[in-house]
Amino acid sequence: MAILVIAEHNNGVLGAATLNTVAAAQKIGGDIAVLVAGQNVGAVAEAAAKIAGVARVLVADDAAYAHQLPENIAPLVVSIAQNFTHLLAPATTNGKNYLPRVAALLDVDQISEIVEVLGADTFKRPIYAGNAIATVQSSAPIKVISVRTTGFDAVSAEGGSASIEALGEVFDARSSTFIGEELAKSDRPELTAAKIVVSGGRGMGNGDNFKLLYALADKLGAAVGASRAAVDAGFVPNDMQVGQTGKIVAPQLYIAVGISGAIQHLAGMKDSKVIVAINKDEEAPIFQVADYGLVGDLFELVPALEKAV
Amino acid sequence: MKVVVAVKRVVDYNVKVRVKADNSGVDLANVKMSMNPFCEIAVEEAVRLKEKGVASEIVVVSVGPSAAQEQLRTALALGADRALLVESNDELNSLAVAKLLKAVVDKEQPQLVILGKQAIDSDNNQTGQMLAALTGYAQGTFASKVEVDGAQVKVTREIDGGLQTVALNLPAIVTTDLRLNEPRYASLPNIMKAKKKPLEVITPDALGVSTASTVKTLKVEAPAARSAGIKVKSVAELVEKLKNEAKVI
């Protein structure tokens, strides 16, 4: 078996999601290569070569790959795909963007967001917003798989000494152009990798009140998330959304404040180790999944909690 | 320009689904079905493009059972001009659906194809990207803003760290994210008018497309249930439990 893991990065730093994806590759078993495609990615390639368990790092360094446009990344991956039995990418917005394009070009089905490896061709994945778990088997000659990062513990970023090889051929479809991006700035840990997540919902009332959660999060070293209701109401930006259509998190501790617990929200956080719910409605569905529930006014309870920890 | 919109009939998003006792799948008998929420957003965006004078005709397409005509009629009531059902009672994987949609795109020659970013039943998030690959068109996935500008479409995309804007040469494929728009409701007169709009039914065979798949589902199980939690009385008790019982802070 030969497995290609496509690295997540921002041209400067290797994304943590890559380490979880390599962990899934190790469960499948076989030689693991990592593809780093981007522009000026020397440092990323070196970081990838140090990942425990990685044998080879393939580097495609060109302006065409600077923003990982799928029109350019997909043909690049397809050009080397015949050397592998499995192609894996993390189920980040990037991975979700280019990987199905790769699968279709190879004329194989893709398996999305696996959470467990049962064998080289059999995997588990959630469907219906996580309300059912499907076991699927692939007979494709090249298995194209995206990996839900919260399903696999990250491998060590140190200890490996992979060889680094440059890929010469450049694919530039010129059918799309990068115009710009607006990235939300935050000093707090990244939502999907944080050990503790504090999330607010519609019950927060407005965006200003989220500062109660920021204060608590800073005390705990936590990331701050939100429900769709809070995002749609304009309290916080959309990249903070936790749920079926937002980010999937599985921290050690998830504190849901003023969140009722709709199916779509639970899909994004119900694999957290410990769930705490703070809500004034004692009937809220969130209490059905919470390990510890606290019924009462969040405007009193959250500041009290911040003082107490 | 002509716009093609793909819609899917799925279990209504408010339904709490149950896994069948024999683990063969999810029980969909007598369950409320609706248009996939992301597909509603796709239809709405196409209708808005028509209202702005950018789109001249909207063709709405579904791949699925005969009952999916219901969702196509809904799309017609919302403003689509005509509908096409590729009728198949098999549960098709994304690649098969993308191949069928490719055949429709070849026939209709639209400038823009709009799909939802994912269906809430299979949660695959693949079909739009696969259709883009098969047609060779550029793709703008997870769109929260779409502006057609001459021979290009500018798409603002929701990405992990924030927003990204790309320009795609037309024809192109766009998949919708939640914040692209707020879908409208169909009015009663429009529902009545929609009954008279054309709805063509064809088969995958007629399109010359094989829907064979390399992935099969072995079983479907309910997720592991969480053990029941407790309600604590005070913040002090909560902190004590988190520190000494759960040991997470």
pLDDT digits 0-9 by tens, A200-219: 999 999 999 999 999 999 99
B31 interface with A at CB cutoff 8 Å: no
Cβ–Cβ below 8 Å for A129 and B226: no
The per-residue pLDDT for A91 is 97
**How far is Cα A266 from Cα A97, in angstroms, rounded to an integer?**
24
Cβ–Cβ below 8 Å for A71 and B218: no
Q: Which two tokens stand for residue B158?
A: 């929701």
Listed in order, strand segments (DSSP E) in chain B are 2-7, 9-11, 33-35, 57-64, 82-87, 112-116, 138-149, 152-159, 162-169, 172-176, 199-202, 215-221, 230-232
The per-residue pLDDT for A186 is 85
B92 interface with A at CB cutoff 8 Å: no
Q: Which residue has the higher pLDDT, A77 or B225?
A: A77
The per-residue pLDDT for B60 is 98
Q: Which two tokens stand for residue A86?
A: 């499995």
Using a CB-CB distance cutoff of 8 angstroms, which residues of chain B are in contact with residue A193? none
The per-residue pLDDT for B124 is 98
Q: Which of B160, B179, B232 sits opposite A294 (nearest CB)?
A: B232
Smallest Cα–Cα separation from B133: which of A177, A106, A141, A68? A106
B134 interface with A at CB cutoff 8 Å: yes
Alpha carbon of A54 to those of A16, A48, B165: distances in Å? 15, 8, 34
Cβ–Cβ below 8 Å for A287 and B229: yes
The ipTM assigned to this model is 0.96
Residue A72 has a CB neighbour count (10 Å cut-off) of 24
B32 interface with A at CB cutoff 8 Å: no
Interface test with A, best of B125, B158, B220 (most A CBs within 10 A): B125
Neighbour-count burial for B208-247, b at 16+ CB within 10 Å, e otherwise = ebebebbbebeebeeeeeeeebeebeebeebbebbeeeee
Q: Which residue of A has its CA nearest to B230?
A: A292
Cβ–Cβ below 8 Å for A182 and B235: no
Alpha carbon of B231 to those of A52, A216, B236, B238: distances in Å? 43, 21, 13, 9
Using a CB-CB distance cutoff of 8 angstroms, which residues of chain B are in contact with residue A111? 215
Q: Is residue A94 helix, strand or coil? A: helix
Interface test with B, best of A68, A87, A96 (most B CBs within 10 A): A96
**Nearest chain A Cα distance for residue B221, angstroms:** 5
The per-residue pLDDT for B185 is 96
How far out from the chain centre does Cα A309 lie? 29
- pLDDT at A184 > cutoff 90: no
Q: Which of A134, A182, A275 sits opposite B217 (nearest CB)?
A: A134
- pLDDT at A103 > cutoff 90: yes
DSSP code of residue A190: P
The per-residue pLDDT for B237 is 97
Cite the DSSP H helix spans in chain A: 17-28, 42-49, 70-81, 93-105, 210-220, 228-232, 263-266, 298-308
Report the pLDDT averaged over residues A61-82.
98
Cβ–Cβ below 8 Å for A263 and B169: no
Taking one residue from A and the other from B, the number of pairs with CB-CB distance under 8 angstroms is 252
Predicted TM-score (pTM) of this structure = 0.96
pLDDT confidence bin for A247, thresholds 50/70/90: very high
B170 interface with A at CB cutoff 8 Å: no
Q: Is residue B170 helix, strand or coil? A: coil
**How far is Cα B81 from Cα B47, in angstroms, rounded to an integer?**
10
CB A198 within 8 A of CB A220: yes
The per-residue pLDDT for B249 is 87
Q: What is the pLDDT of residues A281-294, one digit of tens each?
A: 999 999 999 999 99
Query: Which stretches of chain B score pLDDT less than 50?
Result: none
Q: Which of A102, A132, A173 sits opposite B222 (nearest CB)?
A: A132
Torsion of CA A124, A129, A132, A133, to 10 degrees: 10
Smallest Cα–Cα separation from B175: which of A180, A111, A245, A16? A245
| Residue A31 β-bridge partners | A2
Mean per-residue pLDDT over chain A, rounded: 97
**Nearest chain B Cα distance for residue A139, angstroms:** 5
pLDDT confidence bin for A255, thresholds 50/70/90: very high
The per-residue pLDDT for A158 is 96
The per-residue pLDDT for B203 is 97
Cβ–Cβ below 8 Å for B226 and A291: yes
Cis previous bond, B223, omega within 30: no
Smallest Cα–Cα separation from B113: which of B168, B155, B166, B171? B171
Q: What is the pLDDT of residues A124-167, one digit of tens each?
A: 999 999 999 999 999 999 999 999 999 999 999 999 999 999 99
Cβ–Cβ below 8 Å for A108 and B221: no
Using a CB-CB distance cutoff of 8 angstroms, which residues of chain B are in contact with residue A180? 164-165
The per-residue pLDDT for B214 is 95
Q: Which residue of A has its CA nearest to B235?
A: A305
Using a CB-CB distance cutoff of 8 angstroms, which residues of chain A are in contact with residue B137? 175
The per-residue pLDDT for B100 is 98
The per-residue pLDDT for B121 is 96
**Nearest chain B Cα distance for residue A212, angstroms:** 15
The per-residue pLDDT for B153 is 98
Q: What stretch of H or E contains A226?
A: strand A223-226
Using a CB-CB distance cutoff of 8 angstroms, which residues of chain B are in contact with residue A108? 95, 214
Q: Which residue of B has its CA nearest to A121?
A: B215
DSSP code of residue A156: P
- Beta strand B152-159 with B162-169 is antiparallel
